[in-house]
């Protein structure tokens, strides 16, 4: 496929010669052939000449769930990757949130095969322990050879500290990355929302910030002992940011992420008992939101994720206590971040992670593979259900004001646009 991007404004801070410049970009057979102020082409080339067209390197999301296999009513791999591409993401890390769970090399091969020929690259996360039960390590090395980029018992604490110790020591031998969900289950108990005035007023069982911070403290002590690489997904409290900042100062190889919704919404949003706001970790306080945003700006929090989790309507249209945790977020991620952080910081965050997750580097320059996201950063809109491309509609962003519109993604010699 031959594509010409006309008068595209390039957002690429790491390339000073092109950053904030308007250029025509000619792509042939998936490779950037020419970048110039003006390029003329023949009729065999598809011309993209959109209003206020901006481009950047393809975006990465480090926490995405679909459903297939086992929960296809939530989302299939095919449609999920279509949603990701139309939402601007060239690469997603797929959570082990299926049935059966991916804890062997053959499971990873299945996921990779199902994602073949897609615009968006699917990078599977394998389970850390067999069936994510926290008892015995899964086939980490074999899964790596099959294509797993890291290991994670999705949204489950590693209860046994010795499991984390052994995993970090073992994975270090092949540069493996271990995810550890930041929640102490004994402290969290049967809590479902943040512990504070709102939980008391609503009479809902609460999860104190201590549950997250205690687990992170333990994990960082183990990391200091073992060495290796640790990633802490979706932190949610101010003290978590401080703990990770101190660990980085001590030279520990630790990274962390935050979900977009934990930057924007607080536990005040729970007052209507809307189950779309029931997520894990829970929505925290306004001061936690501010600390997380500051942590991103200061570089302490490494990545931002949509933490996209499709949930079927019958699992959400129940009493708040019984609803399944999760909100979709791929479609609203860019507009939400751009609204609170501004364009350059948003793009910087959405394009981070290739080195950490071993995805391979790319660049906007002649001779390089075209891995590009297309968008208009100035389009202001209210997020409506008609903008949701996912099979399920469980989004807490419905009715939110967004800034920015995604046109689509060019990757793997494919163009997928809305």
Bond prior to 281 in cis (omega within 30° of 0): yes
Task: Provide the β-strand partners of residue 129.
Answer: 137
Question: How far from each other are the two terminal CA atoms of the chain, in whole angstroms?
Answer: 18
Residue 322's CB is within 10 A of a number of other CB atoms, namely 11
Task: Provide the β-strand partners of residue 93.
Answer: 123
3-state secondary structure of 58: coil
Structural domains present in the chain: 2-55+365-379+403-417 (2.30.40.10), 58-350 (3.20.20.140)
- DSSP track, 38-50: -----TTSEEE--
Host H or E run for residue 349: helix 343-350
> Which residue among the candidates 274, 302, 307, 321 is catalytic per the annotation?
307
> Taking the CA atoms of the chain, what radius of gyration do you get in angstroms?
21
pLDDT in tens, 71-97: 999 999 999 999 999 999 999 999 999
Burial (0-12, 13-18, 19+ Cβ within 10 Å), 51 = exposed
Whether 153 sits among the annotated catalytic residues: the reply is no
- Whether the CB-CB separation of 211 and 284 falls below 8 Å is answered with no
Each residue's pLDDT expressed in tens, for the chain with a length of 418 residues: 899 999 999 999 888 889 999 999 999 999 999 999 999 988 889 999 999 999 999 999 999 999 999 999 999 999 999 999 999 999 999 999 999 999 999 999 999 999 999 999 999 999 999 999 999 999 999 999 999 999 999 999 999 999 999 999 999 999 999 999 999 999 999 999 999 999 999 999 999 999 999 999 999 999 999 999 999 999 999 999 999 999 999 999 999 999 999 999 999 999 999 999 999 999 999 999 999 999 999 999 999 999 999 999 999 999 999 999 999 999 999 999 999 999 999 999 999 999 999 998 899 999 999 999 999 999 999 999 999 999 999 999 999 999 999 999 999 999 999 7
Across 42-190, the runs of DSSP E, i.e. the strands, are: 46-48, 54-57, 59-64, 89-94, 121-126, 150-151, 177-179
Contacts of 53 (CB under 8 A, 6+ apart): 5, 6, 7, 8, 9, 374, 376, 407
- Whether the CB-CB separation of 158 and 132 falls below 8 Å is answered with no
Contacts of 30 (CB under 8 A, 6+ apart): 1, 369, 370, 412, 413, 414
pTM for the complete prediction?
0.96
């Amino acid at each position: 496929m031959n594509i010409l991007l006309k008068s595209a404004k390039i957002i690429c801070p790491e390339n000073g010669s092109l950053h904030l410049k308007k250029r025509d970009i000619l792509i042939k057979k998936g490779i950037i052939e020419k970048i110039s102020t003006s390029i003329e082409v023949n009729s065999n080339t598809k011309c993209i000449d959109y209003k206020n067209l901006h481009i950047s390197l393809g975006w990465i999301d480090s926490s995405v769930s679909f459903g297939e296999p086992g929960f296809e009513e939530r989302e299939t791999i095919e449609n999920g990757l279509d949603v990701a591409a139309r939402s601007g993401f060239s690469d997603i890390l797929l959570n082990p949130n299926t049935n059966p769970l991916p804890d062997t090399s053959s499971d990873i091969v299945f996921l990779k095969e199902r994602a073949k020929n897609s615009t968006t690259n699917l990078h599977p996360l394998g389970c850390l322990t067999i069936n994510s039960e926290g008892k015995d390590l899964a086939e980490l090395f074999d899964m790596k050879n099959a294509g797993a980029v890291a290991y994670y018992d999705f949204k489950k604490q590693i209860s046994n500290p010795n499991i984390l110790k052994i995993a970090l020591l073992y994975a270090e031998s092949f540069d493996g990355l271990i995810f550890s969900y930041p929640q102490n289950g004994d402290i969290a108990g049967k809590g479902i929302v943040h512990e504070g005035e709102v939980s008391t007023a609503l009479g809902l069982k609460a999860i104190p910030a201590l549950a997250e911070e205690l687990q992170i403290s333990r994990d960082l002590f183990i990391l200091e002992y073992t060495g290796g690489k640790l990633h802490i997904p979706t932190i949610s409290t101010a003290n978590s940011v401080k703990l990770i900042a101190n660990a980085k100062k001590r030279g520990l190889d630790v990274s962390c992420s935050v979900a977009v919704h934990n930057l924007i919404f607080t536990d005040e949003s729970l007052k209507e008992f809307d189950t779309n706001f029931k997520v894990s970790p829970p929505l925290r306080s306004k001061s936690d939101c501010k600390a997380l945003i500051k942590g991103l700006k200061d570089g302490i929090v490494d990545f931002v994720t949509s933490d996209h989790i499709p949930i079927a309507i019958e699992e959400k249209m129940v009493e708040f206590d019984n609803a399944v945790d999760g909100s979709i977020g791929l479609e609203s991620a860019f507009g939400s971040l751009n609204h609170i952080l501004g364009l350059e910081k948003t793009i910087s965050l959405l394009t981070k992670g290739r080195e950490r997750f071993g995805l391979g580097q790319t660049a906007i320059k002649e001779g390089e593979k075209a891995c590009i996201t297309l968008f208009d950063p100035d389009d202001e809109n209210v997020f409506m259900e008609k903008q949701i491309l996912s099979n399920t509609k469980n989004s807490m962003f419905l009715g939110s004001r967004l800034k920015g519109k995604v046109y689509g993604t060019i990757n793997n010699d494919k163009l997928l646009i809305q």
